[in-house]
Amino acid sequence: MEYMSWLWLGAVILFAVVEAMVTGLVAIWFVVGAVLAFVVSLFGVSATAQLTVFVLGSGIALIATRPLVKKWRTKDVIPTNVDRLIGMTGAVTEILTPVGTVYIDGKTWTARSMDHTDIDEGEQVRVCSIEGVTLNVQQVK
């Protein structure tokens, strides 16, 4: 085996180790390309041709598996009961400076003023979004 074959074999191992260490798919396509380039190098093809096979092989592997990877990475978002609070209105029970509490849907929630202004106790607010267990609210005018 010539030095380019060793180089491609090293690349296969390196990309495979990187892929094994990372939780997402980041190097599997390069493993495919490096394997193809390694096989081509065994036939004594020029380094330029080997590099071309590596790039094309990796690109084709990426294009061929992209729909599968996209489907795998895009998990179904399951809405929770808290999502229904978005758009609801409630009353401030502890002044928002800009964080305080609001009473919405029969429960007291930690809330943050979206525009970072103080909202007095008793004022009406509308839920715009939710971050963790904190409601992002705006004052209803």
- Over residues 60-66, the mean pLDDT reads 89
Domains annotated for the chain, with CATH where assigned, are 3-73 (no CATH), 81-139 (2.40.50.140)
pLDDT of residue 77: 60
pLDDT of residue 81: 76
pLDDT of residue 14: 95
Q: Is the pLDDT of residue 120 over 90?
A: yes
User: Coil, strand or helix: which one is 21?
Assistant: helix
Q: Is the pLDDT of residue 76 over 90?
A: no
Give the CA count within 13 Å in the CB-facing half-sphere of 47.
5
Dist CA 101 CA 87 (whole Å): 17
Dist CA 38 CA 125 (whole Å): 64
- Over residues 114-140, the mean pLDDT reads 92
pLDDT of residue 79: 66
Report which of 75, 74, 61 is spatially closest to residue 26, judged by C-alpha positions.
61
In which band, very low, low, confident or very high, does the pLDDT at 25 lie, cut at 50, 70 and 90?
confident
